Amino acid sequence: MSRFEGKGSSDYDVRIKKLIPGYQLLHQLTASYLKTTLKPNARILVVGAGTGSDILELSNIESSWSFTALDISSDMLDIAKNRFKEANIIGRVDFHTGDVGGLNVGDYDAAICLFVTHFIEGYDEKIKLLSEINAKLKSDAFLLLADLMQYQSEDIRLSQSTISQYLGLEIEAAEVMLGRLETDFYPLSESELAVVAKLSGYDEPLIYFQALRFSGFILSKLEVST
């Protein structure tokens, strides 16, 4: 977890915008979809809340929503708390350091999980996380999930380095990043994600964002037959 502690947390917001094309756009689209589909006073679970960028975007688009900011890194959440205080939204956010399974509240109207599950190795562990999120949602709720996906061509893989350089990453750092994407991450194909989603209690994923290898999906809870 060192990349999300200490200096890894303090420079995260600068670094991530150079690594993920359309990072800000994804947050804007996420907020727009939630604004379109959720009612006022909705409760939203944010898994991997990090330094709070997603909650800040959501809080700007709807003033009545409340949030649970969950992350395994206390350093990241400390940064988020300071940002929320500055934005005067700290009273709308509950904080939880740890995993979803340790969260003792539920009945959320929606959840978001942006750039988390690609760090998790193996189908079983990914299913465990998505199932735990599912258990915290209302029956008609949904999860917005964004991840690094498997590349479909060598040109797309290499373009990830090119766009990062365009966004301000040094050439050597971009090449290191390209190598780490293949060794430190565990991306799924879209068909594999569909299987994982179904086994976790969700319907077929619907894509709402895509930028090279990074994609965002809408996962609605499956209806439970009685």
Domains and CATH numbers, the chain: 2-220 (3.40.50.150)
Per-residue pLDDT tens for 96-140? 999 999 999 889 999 999 999 999 999 999 999 999 999 999 999
Residue type, 23: Y
Residue pair 79/52 in contact by the 8 Å Cβ criterion: yes
Residue pair 51/21 in contact by the 8 Å Cβ criterion: no
pTM of the model: 0.92
CA–CA separation, 20 and 16 (whole Å): 6
CA–CA separation, 136 and 86 (whole Å): 29
Per-residue pLDDT tens for 171-199? 999 999 999 998 999 999 999 999 999 99
CA–CA separation, 83 and 192 (whole Å): 36
Question: CA 219 → CA 74, 103, 131, 202, distances in Å?
Answer: 28, 21, 12, 6
Per-residue confidence band for 10, with pLDDT thresholds at 50, 70 and 90: low
Per-residue pLDDT tens for 13-67? 888 999 999 999 999 999 999 999 999 999 999 999 999 999 999 999 999 999 9
Question: What is the 3-state secondary structure of 117-166?
Answer: HHHCCCHHHHHHHHHHHHHCEEEEEEEEEEEEECCCCHHHHHHHHHHHHH
